[in-house]
Amino acid sequence: MASLKDLKTRIDSVKSTQKITKAMQMVAAAKLRRAQEAAESARPYAERMGSVMANLSTTMSGTPGASPLLVGTGADDTRLLVVMTADRGLCGGFNTNIVKKARERVQALKAEGKSIKIMCVGKKGAEQLKRLFGSYIVDSIELSGEKTITGSTAIMIGDKIRHMFEAGEFDTCELISSEFVSVISQKPRAKVLIPAKDAIDEGVERPDLAGAVYDAEPDEESILNVLLPRYVDTVILSSLLENVAGEMGSKMAAMDNATRNAGELIDKLNIIYNRTRQAQITTELTEIISGAEAL
């Protein structure tokens, strides 16, 4: 049986672990609020961008010479999967769930006979995917250098994707990230990024033009050429922001659980500690009494 001193040390160590998880939970809660605000304030831009794109794409996608970013290359042989995860662990099943989704997609696409390329955003996903599909990974981006996610982070990722697209390295692109359903629920999801035509949600509200035709300046094609890359960046940015919010929500829940578990463990250890102490006292008393009786 463990000595009293051993038990005491264990209790102390669990207590300090509990303090750390508690602190991490509070930090995650604060960061979650900020991340939610950021995701919220980015939404109007993404929404307006979506409806403008929906408008333009209906008039443009029929015309020959429309940008391949919008209508695709015509082929669908190579698909780029952009897998977005967090840079840090200790956030429950957050990263694992995204990787699991990525694995499902890879298997489904392989069954369809497509070739696959993977771009990892975030360190944790890259580590897990490297073990599974190391040969597919063409690029991996870490976010730990950035304190907060801003437009320029998204533009950096968007530029890389566009460069690859222009070089003909893939035909279609899919984004795998986490959807922020609520603080306690995050769902991994895959959505099409390129061709943008398929990415534009059919449910997007289109402004009622009352029969009028858009006047465009300089002309619709050049506007679309400016707008498309920006649209891609916007989708990436909102996914990144949603991912951060999801990571923090998941981390908060995980750390809350850990704190509670540590509390239970401390209670259990305390009971063992008290029992052991009592047993020791009883033994000592019996020894003294029997010693006295022997005299």
- The residue among 221 and 256 lying less far from other proteins, judged by its C-beta, is 221
Residues 6+ away with beta carbon under 8 Å from 199? 191, 192, 193, 235
Nearest distance, CB of residue 38 and other proteins, angstroms: 7
Q: Is 74 helix (H, G, I), strand (E, B) or coil?
A: coil
Q: Is 173 a catalytic residue?
A: no
Nearest distance, CB of residue 31 and other proteins, angstroms: 17
Other CB atoms within 10 A of residue 191 CB: 14
Nearest distance, CB of residue 57 and other proteins, angstroms: 13
Nearest distance, CB of residue 137 and other proteins, angstroms: 24
Residues 6+ away with beta carbon under 8 Å from 214? 55, 59, 220
- The residue among 131 and 147 lying less far from other proteins, judged by its C-beta, is 147
Q: Is 146 helix (H, G, I), strand (E, B) or coil?
A: coil
Other CB atoms within 10 A of residue 207 CB: 10
Q: What are the residues binding other proteins (CB under 8 A)? A: 38, 41-42, 44-45, 48-49, 52, 56, 150-151, 154, 207-210, 212-218, 222-223, 226-227, 230, 233-234, 237
Q: Would you put residue 188 in left (φ > 0), alpha (ψ -120 to 50) or beta?
A: beta
Residues 6+ away with beta carbon under 8 Å from 64? none
- The residue among 18 and 243 lying less far from other proteins, judged by its C-beta, is 243
Q: Which of 7, 39, 91, 224 is catalytic?
A: 91
Other CB atoms within 10 A of residue 271 CB: 10
Other CB atoms within 10 A of residue 11 CB: 16
- The residue among 208 and 267 lying less far from other proteins, judged by its C-beta, is 208
Tell me whether strands 78-84 and 172-182 are parallel, antiparallel or unpaired: parallel
Nearest distance, CB of residue 147 and other proteins, angstroms: 14
- Residue 141, beta-bridge partner list: 121
Dihedrals φ, ψ of 81, to 5°? -105, 120
- The residue among 226 and 285 lying less far from other proteins, judged by its C-beta, is 226
Nearest distance, CB of residue 157 and other proteins, angstroms: 13
How remote is the C-alpha of 144 from its chain's centroid?
14
Tell me whether strands 115-121 and 137-141 are parallel, antiparallel or unpaired: parallel
Give the burial class of 69: count Cβ atoms within 10 A of its Cβ; 0-12 exposed, 13-18 middle, 19 or more buried. Answer: buried
- The residue among 4 and 214 lying less far from other proteins, judged by its C-beta, is 214
Active site residues: 91
